[in-house]
Every structure is written in structure tokens, then in C-alpha cells.
Amino acid sequence: MYASHTRRLLRRDRGARAHGGAARRRASTPLLCLIGAILLVAISRHTLLPKMPFLGSFWRVSLAPGGYIPTPKSHGVKYELHTLPVDAKAVADGDTITVYVDTADPRESGNVPCEVQEAAAERTKARAAKNYEKADTLQKIIVDAGYRQVPGLTGEQVLAKKYRVRLRGIDAPENSMPYGREAKEELVKLVQGRTLKISIYDTDRYGRLVGDVDCNGVFVQEHMLKKGLTWHYTAYDQRPELAEWEKQAQAGGLGLWALPNPEKPWEWRKEKRTRKW
């Protein structure tokens, strides 16, 4: 009797385990299907979508109907400037520009000194009253603090912060050097009247901000290098894409590379300093 009872308990236990196993198998089927679907989607995306190549440590390049469009990554960038339209007179040479940022920009508004805000408001009133002597006095206060009232995006006068920017990774011939004038004119043609997005990395010994400049989807340093109007400034920037763009212009004999032995601007400046002493 005892043995018979034990056999019944064993059969019941085996049945329960079999039922539980079937339940677990039924429960796992949807999960396996879901995992399979995810894998299929991942494989199809990898196969069908174009791969996104990278250039150096900063610029990601994507194909577009008009060519390459650089997209800045955040690595090493301290902050960005979003400028007002650039005036032609603000281009000093082929690698340096002065830009203005509207103080209404949230990135700027909290940093404007009170005396500058007050001077700008009073200057606007003085100009409206045709009291130009007072307006000029107030203008000096504004300019000495690093600001200026300039035309905004809609043409009205706005208070703007002034920044001098050195284009990162390139060195243009000085204005008095061969192709110095051409480099400046090309940069003017590219940025005049346009707003810029500038990714700032550092400040140089002259107090200029050092950054990468985007002008309506055009990476300005790339444009200038491919035109053969600037050198890759290897002493301060080792990005391989800049070297490649310089090689392309050199191979095509473009710009300064049409010269038999173009002089490096940093060597020209060094020699000029030596002659002074």
C-alpha cells in the first residue's frame, strides 16, 4: 500500500513538472520571436544604410547632394558662438575674422555688464534726439567694454559682443605675402553677410579665440585648404583631414601651390621678427 501511494505521488510530480515546462516553453516563444525581430532589423540597417565615415577627431562627414556637410562633435569644444551677419571689413586676413554675437542670445545675455546695457539704452535715446555728441560719448563706453551696436538680423540696431577669431588648424599667407590678398578675398567672399557657427577650443597668446567655423554647412578651413589659399598649421593641429585637403590642393597646383617654392607664413613671420632685432 505504501509503495502504491509513493508511485502515485511520483506520477503526479512528473506531470506537474511536464506541465510547468510546457508553460515555460509557451512563455519563452514570444520573447524569442522579439529577439529575432530585433536582430533582423539591426542586420538590415547595417546592410542597407550608408556607413558614416569620420574625419579626424572632430568632424563627422555625411553625404549630401552638394557634397560633404561637417557636423561638429562636442569633444574638446568649450562653447559655441552663433554670430550676426559678418561684415567684409571684419575679415583681417585669410585666417582671422572679427564677429559679433547678439546679447539677446541666451548664451550672452547673462554676461553683459549693467553699465554697458545702460549706455546702450541711453545711446539709442540720444541718437533719436539727434544728440550725437552724447551718443558718441556713450559709444566709447560700449566699445571699450568689448561691445558694439550693430545691425541685427532684421536690420535694427542691436547690442552685440565682439570676438576676434583665429581659424583653427590653418595659417594663411600674410597680406603682404604672395596669395595673402587672394586668401583674404576668398574668406570675405565666403562669409560676408552670413551668420556663422563657431566651435571654440582655446584662446591664443594674442587673446583671439581659436575655433572651427561653419558657414551655412561649409567647413571654412576645408574650403580654404582645398582652394590652396592656406597652409595646414601642423604645429598646432594634427588632424589628418586637414593634411589631406592640403595635399589635394598641392597635387592640383592650386593657389599658392602654383608657386615653385611657396614660403611658409610662420617662417616668414619669424624672419621678419629677426630682422627687427
Q: What single letter denotes the amino acid at residue 181? A: R
- Torsion on CA atoms 260, 263, 264, 266, rounded to nearest 10: 180
Among candidate residues 166, 168, 222, 239, the one labeled active-site is 166
* 14 classed as catalytic: no
166 belongs to the catalytic site: yes
Q: Which residue has the cell 551677419?
A: 85
List the catalytic residue out of 123, 174, 222, 241.
Answer: 174
Does 168 participate in catalysis according to the annotation?
no
Q: Which of 243, 240, 245 is nearest to 54 (CA)?
A: 240
Rounded CA separation 123/131 (Å)? 9
Q: Which of 123, 168, 186, 208 is catalytic?
A: 208
Residue with cell 506520477: 11
Query: What are 200's three cell numbers?
Result: 571654440
Contact present, 257 and 179 (Cβ < 8 Å)? no
Distance of CA 117 to the CA centre of its chain: 29
The alpha carbon dihedral of 197, 165, 251, 72 has a sign of negative
Say how many C-beta atoms besides its own lie within 10 A of residue 270's C-beta. 11
The amino acid at residue 79 is: Y
- Kindly list the catalytic residues: 166, 174, 208
